Chain A
Amino acid sequence: MVMNDEGQLYTIEGITAGVIMLVTAFTIFNSGLVYTPGDAHISDMQIQQLGYDALQMMDTPEDMSPMSASPLALMIQNNDGSGFKTKFNEYLTLHTGTTELVNSLEFNATVYNRVTSGGGDTVNSYVFSHSTDSAVSQLTREPAISITRYVWLSDANDLKSHFGAAKYDNDEQLVLLEVLIWRR
């Protein structure tokens, strides 16, 4: 019979109990439910790439002469918002037919330009174009993606006379076109 408990290794039962506790803790933590947010960023990226491609296609000049203006630059120079709306819509709905296209993208285009006349330094903006208003998007819509592109205008004279020299103060201007696209 053991009279004292010195020099005794704690029994196997103690070790087993310890291991069981640890394994239980591991199992509980491993099977926990992890909440992951939805993959909204992927559809956002697809819309952004599509919008960027559309602006790039519109900003490609028709021919190679060094100063030829792209269709997009011409639209902005002539303040042709409806032309932009038609063309941009056309690009957004181009498809090959392999997948079903849901035509629910709407957009809003704004032009920003810098004005330094009179010694000041401000950024002027105006709404350039927007897609047809739909009743649904007055109530609710998904968050908008912003696509921007710098467009070089070789001749902004028409805009000067339209908006006034205080707003467009150069014949050749670099303007920022920002298009917000959202799904209805």
Chain B
Amino acid sequence: MDAIRRITDEDAILSIDFLAGFTIFILALIMVISLVPGFLAGIQSDNIDYDAVAYRTSVILVEDPGAPHNPSWNQMGPYDMGHKAEIQRLGLSVSKETPNILSREKVDKFFNRIPDFTFSAEDYRNKVIFGDFTYLYNISLATGGDVYYADGGDPVPTFQYGYMRRLVKVKEPSAAAVNFSEYVTVYTADLPKTETDVTADFSVWIPYETLSNRSVNPAYRIEPQSERLTINLTGMYFPLNRSDLVSLDFVGLGLYRDQIPSNVISLVPNDDYSLKVNGITYPATGGVPVPVTNSSTIEMVLYPPLLLSNSLTTTLNVNFTFSYQFLNSNVFHQYLSGIHVYDYNPDNVTQPELADGVMEVAIW
């Protein structure tokens, strides 16, 4: 007698060994099929990645104003490296609405042209190029005859690099060039015959409300918050009667707000402004009076963000103080006087100019 009972009818029976074999086979098949997507691994190519990263970097630099934008990243503590960590993205555009128009202030900051404020290779990788991989880069901008290179870049290899070339316009800041020979009768005042000396001001008036005109496209707008204002005085002698004048000295510079002379604003040299007389740096107050000649030039630059420019209704007066000595010749003596308005009139101010430029980004 068999120990195992013989089964006579074998229909509808799955034997254990069949199940065991079948299970192992199916498991192995599933494992193999799940490895099929690995076929496509061979298509991944670093070269496509480089071009994509170069394109993305060029878009960030050329079309993006950067982050933070308001206040702009280049305004964060103008010469304060401590604020660098708050910058998330280095974009050079003037605003979101004006792609391909770059701000001169941002360009100068980005390419380390401002002393005491520099970006390192690590900053560029974290704030412009992004990505997990440590890419080598070469970022350059050519404009107005100059070529700027981003620090920490390497020479571009002969092949196998990602590349993008973008055309841009760099918005150069405005400047008020007051050549007194063009304003002979306009910017003078008369001194009574009996007086022989006077210390008087010539003023440049900066009305923030007029300048922050939102109907002006950001590409052409004068922005005291983010651009420098320059005032150039030349030809100081022209409107004056030279035979009558013993001496003319430039004494200094003062700022006051809202056209009230007592609202004096204190100036910090190099942070707020820079003043050069005949090309030599001169302090706003406390300097030795400088004689003014026919060819003298006074150049004053106010750095952004201009003092009190965040208050739209404020106006600023920049006073250039001159001291005059006249001959006692019993005639009316002329001295420089008047207010020059810094506004959108091209006769008063050289408007912001858009200069052609080209930017090349290479990544490998």
Q: Is B21 among interface residues, defined by CB-CB distance under 8 A?
A: yes
Instruction: Enumerate chain B interface residues (CB-CB to A < 8 A).
Output: 4, 15-17, 20-21, 24-25, 28-29, 32, 35-36, 38-40, 42-43, 45, 47-48, 51, 55, 99-101, 138, 140-142, 147, 149, 156, 163-169, 216-217, 219-221, 344, 346, 351, 354, 356, 358-360, 362
Determine the distance from Cα of A42 to Cα of B39 in the docked complex, in whole angstroms: 24
Instruction: Give chain B residues whose Cβ lies under 8 Å from the Cβ of A91.
Output: 167, 356
The 5 tightest CB contacts between A and B, nearest first, are A64-B220, A53-B167, A96-B142, A94-B358, A96-B140
Instruction: Enumerate chain A interface residues (CB-CB to B < 8 A).
Output: 6-10, 14-15, 18-19, 22-23, 25-26, 29-30, 32, 34, 36, 39, 42, 45-46, 49-50, 53-54, 56-57, 60, 62-64, 91, 94-99
Which of B40, B101, B165, B216 has its CB near the most chain A CB atoms (within 10 A)? B165
Q: Is the interface of B mostly helix, strand, loop or mixed?
A: mixed
Identify which of A9, A14, A50 contacts B165 (C-beta below 8 A).
Answer: A50
Minimum CB–CB distance from A69 to chain B (whole Å) comes to: 15
Determine the distance from Cα of A39 to Cα of B160 in the docked complex, in whole angstroms: 12
Determine the distance from Cα of A114 to Cα of B25 in the docked complex, in whole angstroms: 69
Q: Can you add 10 more A-B contacts, CB < 8 Å, to A8-B17, A49-B164, A96-B358?
A: A9-B16, A19-B28, A22-B28, A25-B32, A49-B166, A50-B166, A95-B165, A96-B359, A98-B149, A99-B362
Minimum CB–CB distance from B56 to chain A (whole Å) comes to: 12
Minimum CB–CB distance from B287 to chain A (whole Å) comes to: 38
CB pair B163–A99 under 8 Å, yes or no, is: yes
CB pair B164–A18 under 8 Å, yes or no, is: no
Minimum CB–CB distance from A22 to chain B (whole Å) comes to: 5
CB pair A7–B354 under 8 Å, yes or no, is: no
Determine the distance from Cα of A92 to Cα of B88 in the docked complex, in whole angstroms: 32
CB pair A30–B38 under 8 Å, yes or no, is: yes
